[in-house]
Structure 1
Amino acid sequence: MSKRSKSRDDGGDTDDDTEQQQQQQQQQQQDEECDEQQQQQDADSEHQQQQQQELQEEQQQQNDMQEEQQQQQQQQQHIENLPGWVPQGQAEQQQQQQQQQQQPQQQQGTVL
């Protein structure tokens, strides 16, 4: 800010005054631009968080479905089979499902 050479009473401060006002206006514009950028950033990060949450919920649902399928398979085994006898292919299927269950969590990088 430029210093005023004379006090307001003298009436000789008009140049300094207008200069000061211009500086203030510029400052105000800069502030507003900063605000807009900040709002945009907030909106972006909020959007990302939302996407993250939706992804996690989706994976949680998938995990739940897989668990249900596993339980159903185990029940089927009890109904269909003599104890201790596992039909070919079904045991393999269960192992694959367990692997699938662990993978999404590793990709996500967060523990659900």
Structure 2
Amino acid sequence: MQLPAGRRTVCGCVAVREEHGPDWLDFYLPLGALARTEPRISDGFPFDDDSGEPSLTWRHPLDEWLATIASTIHKKIDGNPPAERWAGYLMLSDGILRYTPANK
């Protein structure tokens, strides 16, 4: 997969069908592979002092790019993301597809 900055990396995708919950699709970039393309990712991410708010500078562009991908393949769902988010959420809310970025 080619990232927005032009570097290439591997990716993965998992479809989850919960017995008593919503179906969802998890498209992801393995952290080790992503770290080879982004020098601002520290060895301790996501548990070191450079994680959280400092990491949002490189995470937001990637999250927005992933949200663009998701918007082309999403199923219609309705809901609201949680208040504390380690990942961005793309959800249909009141008939409008909304992206809410990570804040942790």
- Same fold per superposition (TM over 0.5): no
Interval containing the TM-score (normalised by the shorter chain): under 0.3
Higher strand share: 2
TM-score under structure 1 normalisation?
0.25
Higher helix share: 1
TM-score under structure 2 normalisation?
0.27
Structure number with greater Rg is 1
Greater relative contact order: 1 or 2 (C-alpha under 8 angstroms, separation 6 or more)?
Answer: 1
